[in-house]
Structure 1
Amino acid sequence: MSQFDLNAFISSHKADEAQKIIHSALEQFDNIAISFSGAEDVVLIDMAVKAKKDVSVFSLDTGRLHPETYRFIETVRKHYNINIDIMSPDAAKLEAFTQEKGLFSFFDDGHKECCGIRKVAPLRRKLNTLNAWITGQRKDQSHGTRNELAFAEADAAFSNEERTLYKFNPLAEWSSEDVWNYIKMFDVPFNELHQKGYISIGCEPCTRPVLPNQHEREGRWWWEESEHKECGLHIGNIIPTKQG
């Protein structure tokens, strides 16, 4: 009898539950897309394409990503033979912002304003065209903002009076180990920066490798206080509206 791998066994059963959530979401909504940037999101894509070949995927290009991340996006596009809708910041607003404050204002003023222009506004523009979206968020990524993460919720941050936007988080109960077990089991592409000490990867100026035993979010916006390290994409997690 071969050696029993308990972690792989647990991960595979978590994968079954996550796949059920993804499949159900894709059945419930025609106008739904997967948000893609990191390792967790490629797990979602891998699961989704097994259920629906023409799954919609989008990614935010802030203009400040690592070269490795741009290569990673292209690798995923080719590997799964899918279109990835690349969302970029509004050129006029970004130009005005950098002319007024320079390229590294976040070191002095905090990252919220820069992220608002480079990430949140393009995301809002995309989400305004959707009825639902799927994210790779996990509870253990940030205890300050994601500890109450639901599998399915009304997105309080991006819904409006005219419509409710629904958000699915199939990996809410997963750990980083679960993600990497899945990646290894199914030969899923991943960002080469992970092999250089990076865990949570964002824009190049705002991301650095973490030290052993450091939480993965310590590598993001390291010059700021460690609590609530969010860029605004998932700010609604603080008070989530659970469905079902």
Structure 2
Amino acid sequence: MSTLIDAQVAEIRQQLTGADPLDILRFIAAEFAGKAAFSTSFGLEDQVITHLIFAHNLPIEVFTLDTGRNFQETYSTWSKTVLKYGKTIRAYYPHQDEVAALVERQGPNGFYESVDTRKACCHVRKVEPLSRALTGKAAWVTGIRAEQSANRTGMHAVEWDANYQLFKVNPLLDWTWEQTWAFVREYSIPHNPLHMQGFVSIGCAPCTRAVKPGEDFRAGRWWWEDQSAKECGLHATAAVVPTATLEGH
């Protein structure tokens, strides 16, 4: 990462010291006017951020990656969200020819065979569409929370994402699961009913199950794999952390 980017990340972190999620989003909307986007998968964290963006009319594009393998409950949450706020959520889909080639190569459920085949599916259905969604953007807002996984514990509220060459912003990074639920209830935010059935992290239907008591937050994702491989590729590589970090971040 260049010295200039290093300095920009440090400066933004300093300006946002002590800021709450709404303050962070307002800052990002102003700092990256017309070039900030938020990716939602309609999980609890994402619904909080969507509420903050829509309820306060922040000029941040909200988009989702429709993999074609989502739960019906996820689509219902999507519909309820659009109806509640009267706003547009843009959808990005995998290329039809790439899906066809994937299925021809490894079958409709080939992702169960190995980590490589699963990641191949994730790439076609999620990673490539995300690359298109982020084209031309300068800031990417996510619903990542530090307690979700060991990989995310070392993340920061504002980072430089070397993969997509933009600023990655995680407004809820320090929030707990309980804190997130409290906010959803307080503002009557639409939420995925699967959360009430033990689902914590919700992805594609074939690759997500409910979490058992005492299990890790990410245990329900790709549960047949080794516990060390729990990312789909969207956040698999930790963003580059600048040398000039601020205490407390």
- Residue of structure 2 in register with 1:147 after alignment: 153
Matches within 5 A, 1:173-188: 173-188=174-189
Does 2:30 correspond to 1:27? yes
- Residue of structure 1 in register with 2:223 after alignment: 222
Q: Hey, what's the Cα distance between the residues in 1 that align with 2:170 and 2:78?
A: 21
TM-score of the aligned structures, taking structure 1 as reference length: 0.87
Q: What do the CA deviations read for 1:33-66 (whole angstroms, capped 9, x no partner)?
A: 1111111011011112243255410000001001
TM-score of the aligned structures, taking structure 2 as reference length: 0.85
- Residue of structure 2 in register with 1:62 after alignment: 67
Calculate the aligned-residue CA RMSD, in Å. Answer: 1.8
Gaps of 5+ in 2: 1-17
Q: Hey, what's the Cα distance between the residues in 2 that align with 1:136 and 1:222?
A: 22
Q: What do the CA deviations read for 1:166-194 (whole angstroms, capped 9, x no partner)?
A: 11100111111111111111111100111
Q: Hey, what's the Cα distance between the residues in 2 that align with 1:55 and 1:185?
A: 23
Q: Hey, what's the Cα distance between the residues in 1 that align with 2:87 and 2:237?
A: 29
Q: Hey, what's the Cα distance between the residues in 2 that align with 1:79 and 1:42?
A: 12
Q: 1:157 corresponds to which letter in structure 2?
A: N
* Identity, % of aligned positions: 37
Instruction: Give the secondary-structure state (helix, strand or coil) at the position aligned to 1:58.
Output: strand
Q: Hey, what's the Cα distance between the residues in 2 that align with 1:77 and 1:129?
A: 25
- Tell me if the contact between 1:148 and 1:240 (Cα under 8 Å) persists in the aligned partners: no
Instruction: Give the secondary-structure state (helix, strand or coil) at the position aligned to 2:206.
Output: helix
- Residue of structure 1 in register with 2:5 after alignment: none
Gaps of 5+ in 1: 1-14, 160-164
Q: Hey, what's the Cα distance between the residues in 1 that align with 2:146 and 2:197?
A: 24
Instruction: Give the secondary-structure state (helix, strand or coil) at the position aligned to 2:182.
Output: helix
Matches within 5 A, 1:89-168: 89-110=94-115, 111-143=118-150, 145-159=151-165, 165-168=166-169
- Tell me if the contact between 2:40 and 2:142 (Cα under 8 Å) persists in the aligned partners: yes
